[in-house]
Chains A and B, each alone.
Chain A
Amino acid sequence: MSHGIAASQKNPSNGKIKILLMGNPNVGKSVVFSKLTGVHVDSSNYAGTTVDYTVGDINFGNKQGIMIDVPGTYSLEATSEAEKVAVALLEENADVIICVLDATHLERNLDLAYQLKEYPIPIVYSLNLMDVAGRQGIKIDVDKLSEELGSPVVPTISIKNIGLRELMEVAIESSKKQVEPGPKLEDQERWDKIREIANKVQSQVDREITFIQKLENWTVQPWPGIPIALLVLIASLGVVVGGGKALRAVILLPLVRQVIMPFLSKLISFIVPAGVFRNVLVGEFGILVIGIEWPFALILPYVFLFYAVFSFLEDSGYLPRIGVLADGILRRIGIQGGNIIPMMLGYGCAVPAILGTRAANSNKERIMVATLVSFAVPCASQSGAFFALLGDRSIFSLIFVYALSILAMLAVGVILNKMITGRSQPLLLEVPNLLLPDKDAFKKKLKLRMKHFLVDAEGPMLIGIVIAAVIAETGILNEISKAIGPFVQGWLGLPKEASLSLLLGIIRRELAVLPLLEMNLNTLQLTVGSVVALFYLPCLSVFAVLTKEFSLKVALLIGLITTASAFLFGGIINHIGSFIIGFMG
C-alpha cells in the first residue's frame, strides 16, 4: 500500500474508520498492531523519507477500516525522520488515535501522550505491559490517569490478548466524538505537569528483584555481560549450524536424494529422449538435480534457522545490549555499537542489513557498514554452502574462513575509517526491557522474512542454476575455462572447472561455493576456493541495493575492492599453503 492510499482515506465519510496507532519505541505497539489487524498488512516507505510504516485492515464487529502503525517516537518535535513522519500522519487527520503507553515507564511515555492532546483527534490510551509492571511492583491508578489525561485509558497485556477487545470498542466509540485541540504547553510546563500526574497516579510497592531484572542488569555489565553475550552467540551458532545440519542430513537430503530425485529422473526419462536436453534437466549439473537439492536441501534449513534465532533475539530486546557492550570496540573502527545489529543481520542477508542502516546512522557509518557486510560477512545461504563444502571434510578450513572474515572486517574497518570523512553518530539509546517475544508477532516476522528470501533469493538462484546447467552440459564451460583457466589453475591452484564458481558467483554468493562440491578438491584447494568465494563479488541483489541506496559508483567500487581482495587473498593462501606442504612433504 502506498502513501497515497493511506492519505486518500482521511475522509471518514465513507463509513470506514481510520486509526493511528502511536507510542514510544518498544512499548508493544507492533504486538497490538498484529493482534488487531487482519491479514492484509503491508509496509511502505513514507515519501521523501527513509522511514517505513505499516498499514493493516481492521474488521471489528460491523466496523471496517484501516490502522496505521506510526513509527515509534518519544516526542513530536519533528527533529528526526520518524518524528516527521508521525507529525505528517497526524496532520493527514484520523478518526481516532490509539496511543500505547508502557506501564513500566509511565513518566517518559506521558510526554508523547500529552503532546498528542494538541491535535483535534480523539485519543484512547492503551496502558500496556501491565503484567511486567505488576511483577516490578508498579501500581497505577487507571481511573485517575484517565481523568488527568481527559481520555479513556484501557489497561492491556497485548501479548496475552488481554484488554485489546475493550481497547477497540472504546476506540470505535471515541471516534464518534468531536474534540477541541488542547493548549500548547512549553516543554518545561509540560514536564512539570507530567511529573505531577506520574506522582499522583503511580505508586511503587517493594518487590523482590526478579530473575529477569537481575538478567537485565547483568547483560549491560562488562562482567558478566560479555561472557553472556558470547554464550548467546555460541548457542545461536549451535542452533543454526547443528540444527541445520541435522535437518539436512536426517530429513532433507534423504528426501531429495532417495525419493524426489529418483522419481523425477524416471519421469523425465519417460518423457524426454536421451541427449543434451535430458542432460540439461537431470544430468550431473542438471537443472532439476541441482535446482532442487541446492536451494532446498543445502541452503534453506540454515536460512530458516538463522532468521528464527535472529528474530527471537531481536524481539526479546537483547540485541541493543550487545550493541552497548560492543560500542567501545566498534568505535575504534569509526562506527557506533548499534551497528552490530545490521551487521549481525548481514549473516542472514546483506540486503536487509544494508536497508537496516538507514534510519539511525550517519552517512559515513552507512557506507562503512554496507561495505563491511558486502565484503566479508557471509550470508546465510553462503554459510550453508560453506558448511556443506567444508563441514564434513575440513573443520579447520571452516574455522579458518570465518576467522579470516572477522580479521578482514577489522582491518578494512580501520582503513575505511581513515579514508572516509565524516563522523559517526554517538550511541544514545534506551535499553529495552528483556521480554519473551510474542508468538504471533514472531511468526508474522519470520513468515515475512522467509517470503522475502524465497522471492528474492530463490529466483536468481534458479536462474543461476539454469545457466550452470546450460553452460556445463553444452560445452560452453570448456571454452570459458580455457580462457580463464590459466589464472584459476596457476594463481589459485584450483581445477579449471572452478571457473564455473567465479561465473555463477556473480549471481549469488552461495553459487560461488556450491560448484566446488562436485570437484574432489584437497584441503588447500577447499580453503582457497572458500576464501575466494567469501570475499568475491556481493551478489546481484546486493549490487542493486548498493546502487539504489548509495550510487552506482559506490556499488562498482565495492565490487572492485571485494573481487580484487578475493583473488589477492586466495592466491596468497594458495602459494603459502603449497610452499608449506612442499616443505613438509
Chain B
Amino acid sequence: MPLAYGQKSSTYRIESLPSSHLLKVLGFREGTQFTVQSKQPFKGPIVVKIGNRSIAIDYDVASEILVEEVGHH
C-alpha cells in the first residue's frame, strides 16, 4: 500500500521506495518502521515519526513509498 493512504497513528514498515538521496539520509530505507503522525488537507504532506524525529513527506513522494501496516494504536 502507498504511504499516502496511511492512517494517522498507524505503524508501517517500508517495503520499497524510490531511490532518493535525501530520503535515504533522512533514514528512509527498506525495513524502516515509523508511525504516521499527521496528514494534511488538500493532499498536503504526510508527517511521520521515526523514533523521536518528525519528518514531513510530500504527498506525491509518499505515493511512491510502498508500506505494510504492522500495528495501530
Contacts and interface: CB of A to CB of B under 8 A. Distances in A.
A430 B45 contact: no
B30 to A, nearest CB: 10
A220 B38 contact: yes
Interface string B35-71: 0011111111101000111111111110000000000
Contact of A431 (B24, B51, B55): B55
A331 interface: yes
A228 to B, nearest CB: 13
Contacts of B42: 328-329, 331-332
Which of B26, B39, B53 has the largest count of A CB atoms less than 10 A from its CB? Answer: B53
A220 B44 contact: no
Interface stretch (A105-113, A344-352, A536-544, A576-584): A105-113
Interface in A317-336: 320, 324-329, 331-332, 336
Interface of A: 74-75, 77, 79-80, 104-105, 107-108, 111, 136, 138, 187, 191, 216-217, 220-222, 225, 320, 324-329, 331-332, 336-337, 426-431
Given A221-B38, A429-B55, A324 B25 contact: no
A431 B52 CA distance: 11
A426 B60 contact: yes
B53 A428 contact: no
B11 to A, nearest CB: 16
Contacts of B22: 74, 80, 428
B21 interface: yes
A331 B60 CA distance: 11
Given A220-B47, A222-B40, A327-B45, A428 B61 contact: yes
B37 to A, nearest CB: 6
Nearest to B58: A426
Contacts of B21: 75, 77, 79-80
Nearest to A429: B56
B35 to A, nearest CB: 11
Contact of A216 (B25, B29, B43, B54): B54
Nearest to A425: B58
Nearest to A191: B29
A125 B57 CA distance: 30
A194 to B, nearest CB: 10
A327 B44 contact: yes
Contacts of B52: 104-105, 136, 138
A427 B51 contact: no
Which of B21, B40, B41 has the largest count of A CB atoms less than 10 A from its CB? Answer: B40
A332 B42 CA distance: 9
Contact of A325 (B20, B24, B44, B61): B44
Given A220-B56, A428-B23, 9 more contacts: A217-B37, A222-B39, A328-B59, A329-B42, A331-B42, A332-B42, A426-B58, A428-B55, A430-B53
A336 B54 contact: no
A79 B20 CA distance: 10
A98 B70 CA distance: 40
B53 A105 contact: yes
